[in-house]
Amino acid sequence: QKEVEQDPGPLSVPEGAIVSLNCTYSNSAFQYFMWYRQYSRKGPELLMYTYSSGNKEDGRFTAQVDKSSKYISLFIRDSQPSDSATYLCAMNDNYGQNFVFGPGTRLSVLP
Amino acid sequence: EAQVTQNPRYLITVTGKKLTVTCSQNMNHEYMSWYRQDPGLGLRQIYYSMNVEVTDKGDVPEGYKVSRKEKRNFPLILESPSPNQTSLYFCASSLAATGAGETQYFGPGTRLLVL
């Protein structure tokens, strides 16, 4: 079993749709949870991060962490064609030194 | 402009020929890291460094070496490259030494093909 699992997609949605991206993990020591966005031929860029369980909202993006289920989600409201990218979840423990990434979900938002 | 730079961006080499991929950041960041990205496997951490002369192994360190002699530079060395090291490589840096919860800034990537 991989340490972090993520639905690889690809996922295609119409513009304006609500998108749900998810990751599951197995290591209960993970405390920091991040979502990165990666456009084609570019390096990943941090979108959001949360510490421990709970929700965090930033504009059209909401990150949720459920540590009891070892499950994290990223919701994108009113999706735009500019949101078309690969989304990577990432996590690390309290020492914060060793990062583990999911394989990424490729999202296409169609105009 | 604050950035992480990598060179070269593309490299084709042959098995066994030593190569170095350079990484440099101009943000005075403590933490630097190398990743490789492969289809279906995502980003996997190779090595990371919390400060000058402090480096440690990530999840896939075999076949790679790193050094951190200066704060801004973190080169990745492949002493004897093999075809299974064909991949897309990213260097990243963040402000804090631990990297926990910090924004990691990624370089543009180096695409390596080992024949």
Q: Mean pLDDT for chain B? A: 92
Cα of A94 to nearest chain B Cα, Å: 7
Question: Looking at residue B95, what is its pLDDT?
Answer: 87
pLDDT band at B26 (very low <50, low <70, confident <90, very high): very high
**Angle at Cα A67 formed by Cα A60 and Cα A89, nearest 5°?**
50
Q: Are B46 and B3 in contact (CB under 8 A)?
A: no
Question: Looking at residue A18, what is its pLDDT?
Answer: 96
Helices (H), chain B: none
Question: Looking at residue B97, what is its pLDDT?
Answer: 62
Interface test with B, best of A40, A86, A98 (most B CBs within 10 A): A98
Question: What would the pLDDT profile of A36-74 be if each residue is shown by its tens digit?
Answer: 999 998 999 999 988 888 899 999 999 999 999 999 999
Cα of B30 to nearest chain A Cα, Å: 12
Question: What would the pLDDT profile of B42-97 be if each residue is shown by its tens digit?
Answer: 899 999 998 899 999 998 999 999 999 999 999 999 999 999 999 999 999 988 76
CB count within 10 Å of CB B88 equals 16
Minimal Cβ distance to B42: which of A31, A96, A103:
A103
- Tell the burial category of A111 from Cβ atoms under 10 Å away from its Cβ (0-12, 13-18, 19+): exposed
In chain A, which residues have their Cβ closer than 8 Å to the Cβ of B43? 44, 88, 90, 99, 101
More confident residue, A99 or B102: A99
Q: Mean pLDDT for chain A? A: 91
Cα of A28 to nearest chain B Cα, Å: 16
